[in-house]
């Protein structure tokens, strides 16, 4: 219980004595939920949803509600705490570094960048930043590259996420401005979710959808997704289209709307242009033809068209499924066409609403944080826009040539034309497509600066210079969520070690670099004493633009709470929804239809690569797991790297659930466990995008994905690759079954667990197949799974030392030489402390549960000393945890339903699904399947 409750503001210093509460936002997804951070003595002690924040009204999902667990003193084990300079580099490109001071670090960085700029020109350096930075960070990096250095080589991981949505809006509505808002969910009569597993990726928004449907049972929900996700399970109509066929679907829906005269000719005539060309295009897209392309039925397409066009208000929400495509811009435009043709825009409950993946992708777009944009929604290709920005910044000009987009940047690094790169708050060695090429690029580039909160990311390994950055709870500035709502982010606790704010480091570097390259504007370009001065300059850059925020201030955001833009000077409030007057920010004031034709995915399935693999998110993990991967309980929902495949495809290859598969694309391969799942259609696969080289052998999920990108947005097709898979056999003995290894150790603290993971990560580098994860809640268990073929006697000894199973500890051991099976365990106070199973691992989950729960090891002792494989009868493992808040497993829920309990009774007894609600869709699915 807090001793004193005070609300921190930018003006109030952080107290190190009293318990305090500070309003901020969740740092994960673009829903942008408000949080209240509880802290005492400079330490975050808890987090809860902010009841006054309009994005979430007090709710948080599993990720948001465990944020404080990522900021315990234990988390310092993986934090970057001081600058580190490279001392050596091994053959794999991994750098050994030593601690240095900030002056040396930034002088060194400035020397290196200046030398490259002098010798090779400004376009030989680049910045790769992040949608997780705050708007102020973004603004400074943009000005540093475009204003000081004179290069437009500043791109961001939002290129992988939102750039097709940006261009889709601009091509049709004239500006990168989502017209709808969260409140529209409760006004809509037809919700069209496309390429978005909202239940997992934007859970708190999905809670609003559930509320709206409960209040209005007549509301229709259509879900367009190749997979039967938890979101699709809840739909009135699930269109399980083939990957990449969205344009054919939307064109066919428009064809039906035209035929049935469901379009709105008056609106089209008064507020749009280009409809005749679109009409000619969609003439060919009969429902029969589109059904063939999309793998749907004619009836499904007709029903979707009817519901969309004839409801009183139709709203679409869409995300990566549309964006991460080589025709992502046109996917967006074809959907927006439907809204314009039916006048489902500019009124409550209607409009095309792009959901941002990252917490501040929108803020980055506001300040022009892409290599083709400028501050205040301006374009580099527009001479007037360049002149406006140059005037605002007090410089002669802004370079005209667009910079390198993310994929182009890493290509240029690999080719040696970009020689110095600054990477901030993102992990391209995990998240970019075609990881083999990205790793080569990071090895080839002469000087790699990584500005990071975490020192153990896949990218940090390549850093010549690692600069420690502040993180959630420590940062200060602003963010903008999917619905154009700006929130103040206020620092709750001091930065750990010598970590600094990203904007502060960027300014310090800019001032040093400016002197070395003798830029006369250095002093005037970066005059800021604090983040508010940066934001005020950004605010001025929006004056008169579609996103004008000149009526806002830090003080107002702190006093009145988060506000939507536009909010020009003199306005009483921000604009809830846009284009209510039918006037669009185009030269003619009219929205534009874009006539787009169906195109196939960049890679087609063929005889060699017959499986269409899509990627996406898990419920409880975030991006590359640098943060969520430190919290043991967030592994409970999907415990280890797995590729989801249809049982029919497994059968065909003589495989079953839990087998290991070798999965190959034209770019790389991974060895990974398979999860049999009917949510995936035959001939398709689903691979969660989170698993990288820190969680498994090799480069992770993106070893398989491809970098081919959309010609307008330059967003790569991360969503789809053609792959093949087969049952894994060790290369040395092609005919033998691989023997498994499971090694687990129960740790006294999260800090020890994270350190052990680091140690094991080094040990598994050479193993062909291994995964490294956590389990448990308060007492974490580190779990290594691999194959015994990689376990040399030396490796086994090293593993036993790491697990505290070496000979100097008293251990229980069993070995069956004939069957090549070994069990070794250490029991302390009748509790399992560590286990290594080699050759036979059927009891691993049972033993893991015992370690997690700290249960008596009496049964385990007997089992460990006997030639038994299966756990003793009645000791099945708990299985997947569905409700993370109250630790309730799928097996427990299913067993209760089988005994006749209703879902409501199970919930009343176990409280599952009654806190954050993230598991509610899954609970409904389990109950539905159980016939309850
Ligand atoms: Fe964070 Fe969850 Fe809200 Fe997204 S929905 S902002 S992850 S609490």
Determine the Cα–Cα distance for residues 152 and 144; give it in Å rounded to an integer: 10
- Tell which one of 24, 25, 26 to mutate to probe ligand 1, the residue whose CB is within 8 A of the most ligand atoms: 26
Could you give the residue ranges of the DSSP H alpha helices within 808-857?
844-853
Protein residue with its CA nearest to atom 2 in ligand 1: 61
Query: How far is Cα 519 from Cα 429, in angstroms, rounded to an integer?
Result: 33
557 Cα–ligand 1 center, Å: 20
Q: What pLDDT does 331 receive?
A: 98
**Ramachandran region, residue 487 (left: φ > 0; alpha: ψ -120 to 50; beta: rest):** beta
Q: From the CA of 663, how far away is ligand 1's center (Å)? A: 32
Beta-bridge mates of residue 824:
813, 836
Q: Is the model's pLDDT at 469 over the cut of 50?
A: yes
How many Å apart are CA 230 and CA 238, to the nearest integer?
11
Distance of CA 202 from the midpoint of ligand 1 (Å):
6
Tokens 């409960």: give the residue: 214
* Token output for 322: 């549309």
Region label for 243, one of left (φ > 0), alpha (ψ between -120 and 50) or beta (otherwise): beta
**Rounded Cα gap, residues 357 and 197, in angstroms:** 11
Q: What's the Cα-to-Cα distance from 466 to each of 334, 537, 606, 668, 926, rounded to whole Å?
A: 43, 29, 43, 28, 46
Q: pLDDT band at residue 843, thresholds of 50, 70 and 90?
A: very high
Distance (Å, whole) CA 305 – CA 255: 9
Say how far apart CA 136 and CA 193 lie, in whole Å. Answer: 32
Model confidence band, residue 783 (pLDDT cutoffs 50, 70, 90)? very high
Query: Of all atoms in ligand 1, which is nearest to the CA of residue 622?
Result: 7
- How far apart, in whole angstroms, are the C-alpha atoms of residue 743 and residue 836? 4
Taking the centre of ligand 1 as the mean of its atom positions, its distance from the CA of residue 55, in whole angstroms, is 9
Which atom of ligand 1 has the smallest separation from the CA of 203? 5
Q: pLDDT, tens digit, for every residue of 2-20?
A: 333 334 444 444 555 678 9
Predicted confidence band at 765 (pLDDT cuts at 50, 70, 90)? confident
Q: How far is 287 from 302, CA to CA, in rounded Å?
A: 7
- Please choose from 25, 31, 360, 919 the residue to mutate so as to test ligand 1's pocket, defined by most ligand atoms within 8 A of CB: 31
Cα–Cα distance measured from residue 362 to residue 486, given in angstroms and rounded to the nearest whole number? 9
Ligand 1 center to residue 21 CA distance, Å? Answer: 19
DSSP 546-575: TT--TT--HHHHHHH--EESP--TT-SS--
Q: How far apart are CA 598 and CA 389, in angstroms?
A: 38
Kindly give the pairing relationship between strand 190-194 and strand 781-787. unpaired
If you take atom 3 of ligand 1, which residue's CA is the nearest one?
33
Of residues 569, 531, 715, 403, the one with CA closest to residue 139? 531
The runs of H, that is alpha helices, within 394-501 are 406-415, 428-431, 435-444
Tell whether omega for the bond before 199 is within 30 degrees of 0, i.e. cis: no
Atom 4 (ligand 1) nearest CA: 29
CA of 358 to the centre of ligand 1 (A): 10
- Mutate which of 27, 37, 56, 562 for ligand 1? The one with the most ligand atoms within 8 Å of its CB, which is 56
CB-based contact 355:30 (threshold 8 Å): yes
pLDDT digits (tens, 9 = 90+) for 591-615: 999 999 999 999 999 999 999 999 9
Residue 8 pLDDT: 41
- The Cα-based distances of 209 to 53, 186, 496 in angstroms read 17, 7, 39
Burial of 390 (0-12, 13-18, 19+ CB in 10 A): middle
- CA dist., res. 41 & res. 493, Å (int): 8
- Output phi, psi for 663, to 5 deg: -110, 125
For residue 205, the CA-to-ligand 1 centroid distance in Å is: 9
Within 6 A (CB) of ligand 1 lie: 26, 28-29, 31-33, 56, 60-61, 63-64, 202-204
170: pLDDT strictly greater than 90: yes
Task: Classify strands 272-273 and 314-318 as parallel, antiparallel or unpaired.
Answer: unpaired
Say how many Å lie between the CA of residue 32 and the centre of ligand 1.
6
Q: Give residue 619's pLDDT band: very low, low, confident or very high (50, 70, 90).
A: very high
156 alpha carbon – ligand 1 mean position (Å): 21
Cα 399 to chain centroid distance, Å, stands at: 32
What rounded mean pLDDT belongs to the chain?
94
How many CB atoms neighbour CB 880 within 10 A? 14
Compute CA distances 897 → 234, 615, 679, 904, whole Å.
20, 32, 22, 10
Asked if 298 and 287 touch (Cβ cutoff 8 Å), the reply is: yes
Handedness of CA 235, 236, 242, 243 (dihedral sign): negative
Using alpha carbons, select from 221, 223, 294, 222 the residue that is nearest to residue 252. 294
Alpha-carbon separation of residue 79 from 398, 754, 759, 782 (angstroms) = 37, 11, 15, 19
Distance 29 CA to ligand 1 centre (A): 5
Q: Compute the distance from residue 180 Cα to the ligand 1 centre, in Å.
A: 19
Phi, psi (rounded to 5 degrees) for 269 = -65, -40
Q: Write down the residue that tokens 């997780």 correspond to.
A: 132
CA 152-157-163 angle, to 5 degrees, is 75
Ligand 1 center from residue 624 Cα (angstroms)? 16
pLDDT for res 15: 54
Q: Which atom of ligand 1 is nearest to the CA of 60?
A: 8
Query: Looking at per-residue confidence, does 548 or 874 come out higher?
Result: 548
Tokens of 913: 């699904």
Point out the ligand 1 atom lying closest to the alpha carbon of residue 62.
Answer: 2
Counting from 1 in the atom list of ligand 1, the atom nearest the Cα of 31 is 6
Most informative mutation of 63, 131, 482, 634 for ligand 1 (most atoms within 8 A of CB): 63
For residue 472, how far is its CA from the centre of ligand 1 (angstroms)?
Answer: 13
How many angstroms is it from 352 CA to the middle of ligand 1?
21
Q: What are the two backbone dihedrals, phi and then psi, of residue 794, each rounded to the nearest 5 degrees?
A: -65, -40
Name the DSSP letter for residue 712.
T
Cα–Cα–Cα angle for 579, 580, 582, rounded to 5 degrees:
60
Within 342-376, where are the H helices? 361-366
Q: Which two tokens stand for residue 236?
A: 């009135």
Rounded Cα distance, 524 and 528, in Å: 9
Pick from 541, 544, 528, 507: nearest CA to 392: 541
Residue 60 pLDDT exceeds 80: yes
> Which SS3 state, helix, strand or coil, does residue 170 take?
helix
What whole-number distance in Å separates Cα of residue 465 and Cα of residue 449? 5
In this predicted structure, the answer to whether residue 288 has a pLDDT above a threshold of 90 is: yes
Statement: the pTM of the whole predicted model exceeds 0.85: yes
**Which pLDDT does position 634 carry in this prediction?**
96
Residues forming a β-bridge with 220: 190
For residue 858, pLDDT over 50 is answered with: yes
Query: Which atom, in ligand 1's list, is nearest to the CA of 25?
Result: 6
What mean pLDDT do residues 301-305 have? 98
Give the ligand 1 atom nearest the CA of 29: 4
Q: What is the pLDDT of residue 17?
A: 65
Instruction: Give the Cα separation of 811 and 827 in Å (integer).
Output: 7
Q: Which two tokens stand for residue 376?
A: 């205040």
Residue closest to 556 by CA, chosen among 629, 488, 647, 624: 488
Position 736 scores a pLDDT of 65
Q: What is the DSSP letter of 871?
A: P
Measuring CA to CA, which residue among 791, 901, 886 is closest to residue 837?
791
3 state DSSP class of 770: strand
Written as six digits, the tokens of 225 are: 């997704």
pLDDT tens figures, 70-103: 999 999 999 999 999 998 888 777 778 999 999 9
Tell me if 462 sits within 8 A of 443, measured CB to CB. Answer: yes
352-378: average pLDDT:
93
Is 60 exceeded by the pLDDT of residue 45? yes
Q: Which atom of ligand 1 is nearest to the CA of 61?
A: 2
Q: Which atom of ligand 1 is nearest to the CA of 59?
A: 8
Task: Measure the CA–CA gap between 926 and 890, rounded to whole angstroms.
Answer: 8
Residue 95 CB neighbours (<10 A): 22
Ligand 1 center from residue 621 Cα (angstroms): 11
Residue 305: is its pLDDT beyond 60?
yes
The residue nearest atom 5 of ligand 1, judged by CA position, is: 204
Residue 883 scores a pLDDT above 90: yes
**What is the token pair recorded at 103?**
């002056």
CA-atom Rg of the chain in angstroms = 27
Q: What are phi and psi of 10, to 5 degrees?
A: -65, -25
Sequence-separated contacts (24+) of 232-239 with Cβ below 8 Å: 232/197, 233/921, 233/924, 233/925, 233/928, 234/199, 234/210, 234/921, 234/924, 235/193, 237/300, 237/303, 237/304, 237/307, 239/294, 239/296, 239/300, 239/301, 239/304
Distance CA 103, CA 101 (A): 6
What ligand 1 atom has the least distance to the C-alpha of 56? Answer: 3
* Local structure of 8: helix, strand or coil: coil
Q: Is residue 674 within 8 Å of residue 661, measured between CB atoms?
A: yes
* Closest atom of ligand 1 relative to the 65 alpha carbon: 8
Predicted confidence (pLDDT) per residue in 535-570, tens digit? 999 999 999 999 999 999 999 999 999 999 999 999
CB 311 within 8 A of CB 587: no
Ligand 1 pocket test: pick from 60, 207, 480 the residue with the most ligand atoms within 8 Å of its Cβ. Answer: 60
The H-or-E segment that residue 763 falls in is helix 750-764
| Distance of CA 569 from the midpoint of ligand 1 (Å) | 31
The minimum-distance atom of ligand 1 relative to the CA of 55 is: 3
Contact 760, 855 (CB under 8 A): no
């Amino acid at each position: 219980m807090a001793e004193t409750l005070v609300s921190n503001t930018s003006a109030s210093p952080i107290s190190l004595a009293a318990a305090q509460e500070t309003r901020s936002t969740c740092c994960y997804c673009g829903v942008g939920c408000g949080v209240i951070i509880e802290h005492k003595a400079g330490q975050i002690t808890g987090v809860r949803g902010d009841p006054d924040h309009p994005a979430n009204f007090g709710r948080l999902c599993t990720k948001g509600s465990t944020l404080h667990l990522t900021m315990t003193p234990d988390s310092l084990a993986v934090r970057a705490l001081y600058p580190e300079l490279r001392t050596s580099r091994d053959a794999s490109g991994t750098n050994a570094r030593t601690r240095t001071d900030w002056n040396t670090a930034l002088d060194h960085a400035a020397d290196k960048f200046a030398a490259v700029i002098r010798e090779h020109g400004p376009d030989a350096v680049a910045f790769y930043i992040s949608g997780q930075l705050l708007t102020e960070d973004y603004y400074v990096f943009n000005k540093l590259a475009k204003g000081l250095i004179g290069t437009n080589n500043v791109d961001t991981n939002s290129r992988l996420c939102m750039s097709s949505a940006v261009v889709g809006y601009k091509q049709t509505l004239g500006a990168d401005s989502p017209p709808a808002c969260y409140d529209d969910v409760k006004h809509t009569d037809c919700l069209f979710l496309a390429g978005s597993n909202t239940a997992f990726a934007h859970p708190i928004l999905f809670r609003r959808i559930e509320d709206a449907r409960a209040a209005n049972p007549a509301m229709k929900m259509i879900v367009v997704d190749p997979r039967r996700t938890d979101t699709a399970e809840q739909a009135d109509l699930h269109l399980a289209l083939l990957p990449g066929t969205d344009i054919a679907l939307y064109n066919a829906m428009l064809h039906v709307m035209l035929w049935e005269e469901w379009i709105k000719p008056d609106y089209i005539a008064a507020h749009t242009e280009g409809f005749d060309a679109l009409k000619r295009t969609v003439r060919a897209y009969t429902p029969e033809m589109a059904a063939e392309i999309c793998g749907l039925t004619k009836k499904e397409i007709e029903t979707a068209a009817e519901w969309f066009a004839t409801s009183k208000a139709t709203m679409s929400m869409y995300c990566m499924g549309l964006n991460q495509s080589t025709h992502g811009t046109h996917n967006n435009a074809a959907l927006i066409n439907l809204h314009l043709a039916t006048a489902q825009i500019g009124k409550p409950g209607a409009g095309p609403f792009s959901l941002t993946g990252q917490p501040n992708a929108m803020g980055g777009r506001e300040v022009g944080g892409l290599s083709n944009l400028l501050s205040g929604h301006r374009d580099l290709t527009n001479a007037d826009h360049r002149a406006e920005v140059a005037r605002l910044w007090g410089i002669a000009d802004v370079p005209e040539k667009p910079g390198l987009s993310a994929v182009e940047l890493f290509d240029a690094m690999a080719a040696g034309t970009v020689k110095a790169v600054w990477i901030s708050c993102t992990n391209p060695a995990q998240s970019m497509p075609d990881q083999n090429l990205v790793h080569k690029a990071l090895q080839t580039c002469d000087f790699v600066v990584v500005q990071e909160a975490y020192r153990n990311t896949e990218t940090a390994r390549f850093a010549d210079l690692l600069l420690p950055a502040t993180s959630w709870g420590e940062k200060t500035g602003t963010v903008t969520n999917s619905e154009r709502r700006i929130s103040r982010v206020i620092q709750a606790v001091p930065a750990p070690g010598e970590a600094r704010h990203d904007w502060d480091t960027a300014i310090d570097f800019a001032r040093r670099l400016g002197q070395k390259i003798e830029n006369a504007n250095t002093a005037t370009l970066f005059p800021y004493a604090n983040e508010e001065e940066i934001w005020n300059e950004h605010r001025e850059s929006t004056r008169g633009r579609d996103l004008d925020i000149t009526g806002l201030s830090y003080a107002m955001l702190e006093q009145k709470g988060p506000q939507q833009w536009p909010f020009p000077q003199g306005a009483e409030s921000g604009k809830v929804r846009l284009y209510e007057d039918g006037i669009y920010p185009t030269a003619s004031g009219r929205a534009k239809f874009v006539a787009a034709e169906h195109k196939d995915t960049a890679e087609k399935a063929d005889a060699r690569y017959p499986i269409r693999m899509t990627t996406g998110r898990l419920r409880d993990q975030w991006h590359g797991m640098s943060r969520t991967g430190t919290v043991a309980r967030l592994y409970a929902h999907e415990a280890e790297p797995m590729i989801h495949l249809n049982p029919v495809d497994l059968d065909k290859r003589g495989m079953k659930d839990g087998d290991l598969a070798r999965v190959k694309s034209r770019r790389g391969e991974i060895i990974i466990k398979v999860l049999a799942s009917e949510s995936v259609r035959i001939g398709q696969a689903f691979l969660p995008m989170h698993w990288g080289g820190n969680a498994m052998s090799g480069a992770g999920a993106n070893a398989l994905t491809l970098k081919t990108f959309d010609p307008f947005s330059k967003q790569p097709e991360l969503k789809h690759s053609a792959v093949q898979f087969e049952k894994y056999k060790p290369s040395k003995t092609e005919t033998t079954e691989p023997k498994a290894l499971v090694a687990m150790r129960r740790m006294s603290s999260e800090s020890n667990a994270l350190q052990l993971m680091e140690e094991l990560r080094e040990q598994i580098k050479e193993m062909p197949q291994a995964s490294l994860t956590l389990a448990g809640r308060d007492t974490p268990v580190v779990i290594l799974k691999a194959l015994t073929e990689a376990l040399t006697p030396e490796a086994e000894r090293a593993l036993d030392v790491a697990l505290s199973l070496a000979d100097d500890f008293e251990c229980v051991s069993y070995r069956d030489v004939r069957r090549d099976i070994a069990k070794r365990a250490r029991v302390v106070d009748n509790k399992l402390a560590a286990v290594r199973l080699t050759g036979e691992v059927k009891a691993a989950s049972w033993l893991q549960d015992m370690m997690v729960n700290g249960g008596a090891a009496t049964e385990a002792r007997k089992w460990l000393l006997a030639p038994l494989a299966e756990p003793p009868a009645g000791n099945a493992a708990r299985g997947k945890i569905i409700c993370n808040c109250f630790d309730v497993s799928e097996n427990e829920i299913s067993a209760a339903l089988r005994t006749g309990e209703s879902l409501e009774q199970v919930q009343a007894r176990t409280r599952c699904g009654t806190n954050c609600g993230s598991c509610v869709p899954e609970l409904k699915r389990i109950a539905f399947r159980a016939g309850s």
